Amino acid sequence: MKRKRLPSLARLTRKLDRLFAAWIRGRDAPNGMGRCISCGDWARLQAGHFIKRQHRATRWNEFNVNGQCARCNHFLHGNDGAYCMALIHWYGKAKVDELMALCVQLKAQLAEARQQHAQLATVLVEQAVA
């Protein structure tokens, strides 16, 4: 019997992105239309990220992702200034600071992991040469 392969991380990430985006649109636009968090226009909403998706610590955080119109999300590249002001209005400055701290914390952990990797690689090379 052939063993079923597990899905790749990239495939699981895409699936989770689609599910999470559908959940955000359902939360912010239950009838398919809603108000954009950035500009306030009534439109068909997309799941717009305040801290961009490449930052995994906040990628699926429900406070970081809100309904945005296509204009703000794509054409204005997130309309970050208005998005930030709306987040502060809806969730408070403490929540925005918490999101930013999550992002910074992950960056610090990544930098530390890279440094440890480089140190380990150096030790392994020195041992191999000796």
Over residues 95-111, the mean pLDDT reads 83
pLDDT(1) > 70: no
Alpha-carbon distance 34 to 26, whole Å?
A: 10
Q: Answer for the pair 71, 41: CB distance below 8 angstroms, yes or no.
A: yes
Sorted by sequence, the CB contacts under 8 Å of residue 127 that are 6+ apart come out as none
Q: Provide the pairing of β-strand 42-43 with 46-49.
A: unpaired
100 residue type, one letter: M
Q: Answer for the pair 68, 24: CB distance below 8 angstroms, yes or no.
A: no
Over residues 46-71, the mean pLDDT reads 93
Which pLDDT band holds residue 16 (cuts at 50, 70, 90)? very high
Taking alpha carbons only, the member of 58, 53, 56, 88 closest to residue 73 is 53
Token pair for residue 46?
């997309």
Domain spans of the chain, in order of start: 9-129
